[in-house]
Amino acid sequence: MLGWMLLLSLLLQGQGPRDVQLEGGPKPPVIVPKGTTIPVELLNRLSTNNLKEGDNIYARTIFPIAVDNKIVVPVGTNVQGKIKAVERPGHLKRKASLTLSFQTMILPSGLTLPIYGSLGGSDEGVRDGESKIKNDSNAGKDVGAIAKGGAAGAVVGTIFRGGKGAAVGGAAGASAALAGVLATRGEDLTLPKGTEIEIVLDQELEL
């Protein structure tokens, strides 16, 4: 009996150590690829009328971002940023603009991540470059105002002075319209709360 037990012990030792599999080890990071579009909506109103460089931007995601069929950035994820530049509307170049920089994403778990992205589009204003939104150009309106003023002056001049008066009245009307354009600024750019903006990742996002 003792001999059998000794033989069994030798056989077991001959099998060598068994492989031990550990569970719960570190998981590989989830990567949101460069070029991914993240739609967000503004939580605060932005306007060139009262903003200055360095003011905060608050937004939240409005569409889930998935990797390998798993949602990694859910709807409602907070995104924060800064105003990088403010351009008020001018007299002749009547375009107001805001340069935006979205810098941080805060997941529902509390994890805070830096993000690096460009603007993909906005439902207010017009995208200009990688991070600027500008107001629609009013140049056409200005030219139209001058032409309309000149035409009105020509009509008045024709009635009261004949053909020569038309030329004089037209010039006077155009001058008056131009003076009005020079005296007034264009419209400020305003992005209301709820404005939808697309952020396009310039670098991959590691979760």
Residue-by-residue pLDDT tens, the chain, 207 positions: 545 554 445 444 555 444 444 556 678 899 999 999 999 999 999 999 999 999 999 999 999 999 999 999 999 999 999 999 999 998 666 689 999 999 999 999 999 999 999 999 899 999 999 999 999 755 445 445 444 544 444 444 444 455 555 455 555 555 555 555 555 668 999 999 999 999 999 999 999
Beta bridge partners, 128, equal 132
Residue 114 has what pLDDT? 97
Dihedral sign (CA 182, 100, 60, 51): negative
Query: Which positions ≥6 away from 41 have C-beta within 8 Å?
Result: 59, 60, 62, 194, 195, 196, 197
